Amino acid sequence: MLAVLSPGQGSQKPGFLTPWLDLTGTEARLRWWSALAGVDLVHLGTAADADEIKDTARTQPLLVAAALLAAEHLPMHDVAVTAGHSVGELGAAALAGVLPAEAAITLAGVRGREMAAACALEPTGMAAVLGGDPDEVLAAIERHGLHPANRNGAGQIVAAGALDALDKLAAEPPAKARVIRLQVAGAFHTPYMAPAEAALAAVAAGITPADPARILLSNRDGAAVDHGRVLVQRLVRQVTAPVRWDLCMRTLADLGVTGVIELPPAGTLAGLVKRELKGPDAPEIVTLNTPDDLPAARDLIARHGAAPSHEPALPFRVVVAPSAGTFTPARDLTEGGTLRAGQVIGHVATRQGPVDVTAHDSGVLTEWLAHHDDPVAPGQPLARLDGHL
């Protein structure tokens, strides 16, 4: 099984899109997307310096555009899983079929502008805490009035909040940990971004998403999201919520992913996966940075690709497992029974505790696809619902 990953802010490098413009149609596509994003993506991807592409308002649509451009040259129909880090979730959502490319680019433009505006309201920042005991690191972050904005796994937690609090954390680091200040505009994925979340929600409300055509993992909790409306809600909420990339990687392992491709600008997520998913079952990884890397990426898909688990074209809907574990259906809920939107139909017992499984639409439960105490993987269908709900 193969996963395609879309990187987030901080992975960009000056000129990283230059070689892609040699491919037919790329420049025209970027100019069209520039009109939607409100920034010059051709200039940003080729001629802009490091300071210019560090600007949140410019960086976010640039990264989403880069991922989508590269993915156009891959046989995505053989990719089973997509996931993205932070703004990379917009690219992953488009690759999973939830959003049209134009919608993902437009949302990235709005998200970047509004998060940049929120950063200007008061002096905040972020710092990576490397090493140390995770519980002690989280306790230290909380003690200083900061937020764990990113839990990236592989011994990396990113703290975010007021600059003076970050200075105190650096002066008193947790045992066996290093604190490295990040060159970012503000405290992303914290309550400081509330104005940006509200602005993005207002725009996202006008989108009509589709349900995923393949397994799509959420930064919120690493769960497989099977309904487009739910995914859009999570994308909006993620502006102020922590990125749980550690849980996304755990889900990749639970799914048995054997191959990983990171889209450009690649390297950051591949490095985290390599450090976190070790041993004989470690996935084979390809970092796709230039068109010269396309043959290796296509070969990886040919050897590890699999058909997606979701089947949105069929005349019924399925409820899927959000996490790996053991499934227990709700008591007294039988085939032929009527379900209402939001109704809990069972739960998955996971290593972190039980996770409710809910029906996202009303309808009739026509068939259980998993039964009591069945082991399930993230994205695995659990129940079939009738008709167009």
Asked if 189 is an active-site residue, the reply is: yes
Of the candidates 11, 86, 309, 323, the residue annotated as catalytic is 86
Which of the following is catalytic: 147, 189, 304, 360? 189
Catalytic: 86? yes
Three-state SS letters, the chain: CEEEEECCCCCCCCCCCHHHHHCCCHHHHHHHHHHHHCCCHHHHHHCCCCCHHHCHHHHHHHHHHHHHHHHCCCCHHHCCEEEECCCHHHHHHHHCCCCCHHHHHHHHHHHHHHHHHHHCCCCEEEEEEEECCHHHHHHHHHHCCCEEEEEEECCEEEEEEEHHHHHHHHHCCCCCEEEEEECCCCCCCCHHHHHHHHHHHHHHCCCCCCCCCCEEECCCCCCECCCHHHHHHHHHHCCCCCECHHHHHHHHHHHCCCEEEECCCCCHHHHHHHHHCCCCCCCEEEECCCHHHHHHHHHHHHHHCCCCCCCCCCCEEEEECCCCEEEEECCCCCCCCEECCCCEEEEEEECCEEEEEECCCCEEEEEECCCCCEEECCCCEEEEEECCC
Residues marked as catalytic: 86, 189
